[in-house]
Structure 1
Amino acid sequence: MKHFAELSPAAERIVDAAEALVQQVGFNGFSYEDIAQKVGIKKPSVHHHFPTKVELVVVMTQRYTHRFREQLLRIEGIHPRGPDRLQAYAELFASTFANHRRLCVCGMLGAETDSLPEEIRAEVQRFFRINVEWLRDVILHGQEQQKLHKEPAAYDMAQLFLSALEGSMLVGRGLTDTQGPAAVTQTLFQAWQT
């Protein structure tokens, strides 16, 4: 299987197209024909770079998780306070949603978990595990700084925050008047901040 860091420019364009399609219609909603049309190549060329759709989506999900982790490190480098880190984290979701109501790649794949191959499910679980652990640490940091309430427990708050952001994107697609992740974040912050 390819590693996302070793992709040729042509393979990178295919992964970019797959990511956009997953954010819009999920794993089960697109075909290699859709990829070929989006990239402007023939379907056999897509198969040349990625023999199976599973391989393509695994590489895409690994790259997405890697890029997301880079954003988490950037947030840590810019924001010393726990609440500010949480706000910057929420803005990652808000900016994705602001782009034509796109969803988080792993949020969309997570909704399809029961119909996904094991290799993809493992990558989605990895993404969520990384995020919950990072959020837990940020919340603990905020609690130590006495900027966030001590209850509920940091791990529970982390799961709630991630679930609220992912869920707000899904609900936001159905309700055209919702503000999505931005509104949910403000509501939670009012309850959590000291």
Structure 2
Amino acid sequence: MGTRTHLLDEAERFTRQRGFDGFSFADLASSADIRKASVHYHFPVKGDLSLALIQRYRAVFADRLKAISSTHPTAGARLLRFLDLYRAASDGGRSLCLCVALSVTQIALPEETMAELAAFHRDVTAWLETVFRHGQSDGSMQHVSDPRAEAQAAMAQVEGAQIMARAAGDLARFEAAIATLVSRAV
């Protein structure tokens, strides 16, 4: 693994556990066991780091959604696997997925990072919309009326559920908040 990748891994871990404002380049250098100047070599300013983080996360998440679509034929199964992604990212209520962690610290992020974050949310919401549309036709989801509105609500629900679980340090909060989504899958 290269230094840049290691720095991104550590920065993602810090961001998900502490928030993007909750660590410094000195913390990152110490965690990666390199000099602070080496961090600046790869990411001249923290805004560059935030952009690299969300670009990488967006690509990885898109690949995960494609894998779900290709391996799970029903909309209900796809929705449940999607929820698994957010459940796993919660790490038992100790963490947030990167998109949620960055969303709650928007004021510190550069415009380019905010644009990537908005694109991430658009991409995932569009994928969810296709899942809800598929659920209307394959019968594997209950009570689908407006796939677009339901996709937007589902996105808000899972991200809010993560915040609730993190605040309480309890994954049960996440499970309670997504229970209505889980119950819709047949």
User: Same fold by TM-score, threshold 0.5 exceeded?
Assistant: yes
Tell me how large the CA RMSD over aligned residues is: 1.8
Question: Residue type matched to 1:142 in 2?
Answer: G
Instruction: Indicate whether 1:155 and 2:148 are aligned.
Output: yes
Q: Distance in 2 between matches of 1:176 and 1:165?
A: 16
Pick the aligned partner of 2:100 from 97, 107, 116. Answer: 107
- Corresponding residue number in structure 2 for 1:31: 24
Structure 1 unpaired stretches of 5+? 1-7
Q: Secondary structure at the match of 1:103?
A: coil
> 1:19 is matched with which residue: 12, 25, 28?
12
In structure 1, how many angstroms separate the alpha carbons of the residues matched to 2:107 and 2:34?
31
Q: Is the 8 A contact 1:83 1:147 kept in 2?
A: yes
Q: Aligned partners of 1:148 and 1:24: how far apart in 2?
A: 33
- 1:186 Cα deviation after fit: 3.1
* CA-CA distance at 1:166 after TM superposition: 0.9
Q: CA deviation at 1:151?
A: 4.2
- 1:64 alignment partner, one of 57, 72, 82: 57
Question: 1:123 aligned to 2:116?
Answer: yes
* Alpha-carbon contact 2:129-2:147 (below 8 Å) kept: yes
Closer/same/farther in 2, CA of residues 99 and 178 from structure 1, 3 Å limit:
closer
Q: Distance in 1 between matches of 2:104 and 2:90?
A: 16
**Which stretch shows the higher mean deviation, 77-86 or 45-54?**
45-54
For structure 2, the 5+ residue unaligned runs are: none
TM-score in terms of structure 2 length? 0.92
TM-score (norm 1): 0.88
**In the aligned structure 1, how far is the partner of 2:170 from the partner of 2:96?**
17
Alignment partner of 1:170 out of 151, 163, 166: 163
Divergent runs of 4+, >4 A: none
Given candidates 42, 58, 76, the residue that maps to 2:35 is: 42
Q: Does 1:92 align with 2:85?
A: yes
Structure-1 separation of matches of 2:13 and 2:169: 21
